A and B are shown apart, each in its own frame.
Chain A
Amino acid sequence: MAELTMIKAVTNALDLELGRDEKVLVFGEDVGRNGGVFLATEGLQEKYGNQRVFDTPLAESGIIGLANGLAMQGFRPVAEIQFFGFVFEAMDQIVGQAARTRYRTGGRFSCPIVIRSPFGGGVKTPELHADSLEGLFVQSPGIKVVVPSTPYDAKGLLISAIRDNDPVLFLEHMRLYRSLRQEVPDESYTIPLGQANVVRQGKDVTVIAYGYMVHVAQRAAEQWSKEKGVEAEVIDLRTINPIDIETIVESIKKTHRAVVVQEAQRSSGAAAEIIAQINEHAIYHLEGPVLRITPPDTVYPFGLIEDEWLPDEQQVLRGLEKVMSL
């Protein structure tokens, strides 16, 4: 057991899977000798050689297309998109190709790729580095979308993603890479994809979040508890496609109120889907409407205003007050 940051937990998961299964390959821009721009793949090329951990030319569609070809030939590629804002370049190879392979070939071929990518805001990047574009993939059939919020989860979920026989998008929030440490077992373990985690027990309202917003929600819940004695239950979704609606419904049966905290813009994303599913499965357990706490429907803004744009604890508290008053 060691205290690891999320970035080290990712490296550890890749290391263990490269060691376990020779079909696992790790590649992308600068992932070899440099170990990735965030050092997620540090030391892996040295350990496993440049046939299994390698740099590619700088082209995202090429990287994912390469992964698709390898996967259809039985490999387990873990491809890195250096920043998630660059994913537009690879949309066809992900949504038009990888996610359709099983369907298109009636199961003759599958495409067990993992696409790892740093995403999320609050770290003052240039434009199109920090977007929260996960909603585009939540809407896409045939691909799973996983978003860990802790080092422990990152390791177990990434190992599950690599072993999954279908494409998985694995989104690592940049603000979480080095901001917290956690005890992480040395050995290999898996956390099932599609299973949410109740990270704070509470009886008064359900707060649903993923990625960095889990931490914002937890801090707001602690403050609320101290100041007002109101107890929020916080659910970390961990996977946003598919959504673990069962865990959400169980919580709402107890709290009868819910709010979703999302770092991405308001409309049509994961939060919208969560609320639609709550509507389908739990509306009679609710005492009021489910709210979304999100930034406005603008593009992800430039650095000098991003802190104001991103939801923070105060915004979550205001949202909680509002949902309790309805």
Chain B
Amino acid sequence: MSTTIAADQIPHLQVLDENGKVVNSDLVPNLPDDQLRELMRRMVFTRIVDQRAIRLTRQGRLGFYAPVAGQEASMIGSEFATNKEDFILPGYRDVPQAHFHGWPLYQWILYSRGHQHGGEVPQDVNVLPPQIIIGAQYVQCTGMALAFKLRGEKRVAITYTGDGGTSQGDFYEGINFAGALHVPAVFIVQNNQFAISTPVRLQSAAETLAQKAVAAGIPGVQVDGMDVLAVYAAVKQAVDRAREGDGPTLIETQTFRYGPHTMSGDNPTRYRTKELESEWERKDPLIRFRNYLEGKGLWSEEDENRAIEEVKDTLNDALKQADSYPKMTIPGLIESMFENLPESLVRQKAEFSGEAK
């Protein structure tokens, strides 16, 4: 005989249904109108930047890019629940969160192209450049959260991975250490249903990914990741708990990426059906939240157009700034290996500067 944890034992949060109607009024976050509009503006911004980024990648003006359309509620809603002094450790798809936490767009463009300055996050911005190794950021997040706890700072460390990331050792080690050390951390799993091409049912026999929290002894919550208010509410609750010294939380946002894994050549038609795509498109986070805001008289076509227009200027400025940024050099690269270069690297620096001794 065996028993497993069932999905209905894990809290599942939803505020808006697919048409933008409130289904759980207790959970509606207490956000002023201008902040509700800001959430929408950011989601529109993210959707349009994604479309532009895909075109720029095809034109060779961007390098590495992992599309985000479909995940806007999960990304924007979660970052919106943090404070500027909280620290975000993003995965490679989590560019919107890093950007709205302060990472300038031109640095994202440089990062995408493979320029070192992309990761040189401004001093007052609390993010790391996006992590490439799946799950590596989870254990580091616990370390940062422990730093805040030891210093008695009311700050929270927030990190992201995907459904595939929950299979990694670092995922388990990160949440288990966080539970054992009782640190102010929030771990978000954006379950977008596919790890490149591998569906989540091949990733794990667990009914939900949130229930992986149970083994770590921390709360696990599943949330409708296409519902920005639900994501905001769940993350806000977790962030507040962490800030008050009540420990870490694992949050699974159920979402979907409309595009391919990255712009490097995977073809989603090989691993998912049109029907599945249509099913998720009906849950679209922008349509849903737009309906909700329009119902409250907080969003109009004019607002939408203004938000779209704004992207053009912002992105063009960022592209210009990235284009004009000085090129990297091999001596510069060598200098970034250590604070003080050992003799061997001093010699190599001279050699690669064309001044070989």
Instruction: Decide whether A and B assemble into one complex.
Output: yes
Interface set of A (CB-CB < 8 Å, partner B): 25, 51, 56-57, 59, 61-62, 64-75, 77, 89, 92-93, 96-97, 102-110, 141-142, 144, 164-166, 194, 242-246, 277
User: Is B145 a contact of A69 with CB atoms below 8 Å?
Assistant: yes
User: Is A73 a contact of B333 with CB atoms below 8 Å?
Assistant: no
Please, how many residues of chain B have a CB less than 8 angstroms from a CB on the other chain?
43
* Residue B120 CB within 8 A of the other chain: yes
A59 in complex: contacting residue of B148, B177, B181, CB < 8 Å? B177
Known: A61-B173, A103-B116. A96 touches B136 (CB 8 A): yes
Known: A57-B180, A69-B157. A106 touches B146 (CB 8 A): no
Interface string of B137-154 (1 = CB under 8 A from A): 011111111111010000
* Residue B84 CB within 8 A of the other chain: no
A89 to B169, CA, bound (A): 9
User: Is B147 a contact of A70 with CB atoms below 8 Å?
Assistant: yes
B143 in complex: contacting residue of A68, A102, A109, CB < 8 Å? A68
- Residue numbers in A under 8 Å from B116 (CB-CB): 103-104, 106
Of B87, B123, B143, B170, chain A has the most CB atoms within 10 Å of the CB of B143
A103 to B119, CA, bound (A): 9
With A57-B177, A65-B142, A104-B116 given, can you name 5 additional A-B contacts, CB distance below 8 Å? Answer: A56-B181, A61-B170, A65-B136, A70-B147, A106-B120
Known: A108-B119, A245-B344. A166 touches B142 (CB 8 A): no
User: Is A110 a contact of B339 with CB atoms below 8 Å?
Assistant: yes
* Residue B82 CB within 8 A of the other chain: no
A-B contact pairs, 16 of them (CB 8 A): A59-B173, A65-B140, A66-B140, A66-B142, A69-B146, A70-B143, A71-B143, A72-B128, A93-B136, A96-B133, A96-B136, A97-B133, A108-B120, A108-B123, A109-B121, A166-B339
A-B contacts at CB below 8 angstroms, number: 138
A246 in complex: contacting residue of B133, B141, B170, B343, CB < 8 Å? B343
A66 to B181, CA, bound (A): 11
* Residue B165 CB within 8 A of the other chain: no
* Residue B6 CB within 8 A of the other chain: no
A277 to B342, CA, bound (A): 14
Interface string of B231-262 (1 = CB under 8 A from A): 00000000000000000000000000000000
B142 in complex: contacting residue of A69, A71, A92, A141, CB < 8 Å? A69
Of A66, A144, A166, chain B has the most CB atoms within 10 Å of the CB of A66
A164 to B333, CA, bound (A): 20
A73 to B141, CA, bound (A): 11
Known: A92-B133, A93-B136. A69 touches B117 (CB 8 A): no
- Residue numbers in A under 8 Å from B343 (CB-CB): 194, 242, 244-246
User: Is B170 a contact of A102 with CB atoms below 8 Å?
Assistant: no
- Residue numbers in B under 8 Å from A74 (CB-CB): 147
Q: How far is the CB of A219 from chain B (nearest CB, A)?
A: 31
5 pairs of A and B residues whose beta carbons are closest in the complex: A69-B143, A65-B139, A106-B120, A73-B147, A62-B173
Residue of B nearest to A166 (CB): B338
- Residue numbers in A under 8 Å from B129 (CB-CB): 104-105
User: Is A65 a contact of B344 with CB atoms below 8 Å?
Assistant: no
A67 to B181, CA, bound (A): 13
- Residue numbers in B under 8 Å from A75 (CB-CB): 147, 150
Residue of A nearest to B216 (CB): A57
Interface string of B310-339 (1 = CB under 8 A from A): 000000000000000000000001001111
User: Is B143 a contact of A73 with CB atoms below 8 Å?
Assistant: yes
User: Is B117 a contact of A65 with CB atoms below 8 Å?
Assistant: no
* Residue B219 CB within 8 A of the other chain: no
User: Is B336 a contact of A51 with CB atoms below 8 Å?
Assistant: no
Q: How far is the CB of B336 from chain A (nearest CB, A)?
A: 5
A304 to B122, CA, bound (A): 57
A104 to B169, CA, bound (A): 23
User: Is A242 a contact of B143 with CB atoms below 8 Å?
Assistant: no
Known: A70-B147, A242-B344. A106 touches B119 (CB 8 A): yes
Q: How far is the CB of B161 from chain A (nearest CB, A)?
A: 13
User: Is A93 a contact of B139 with CB atoms below 8 Å?
Assistant: yes
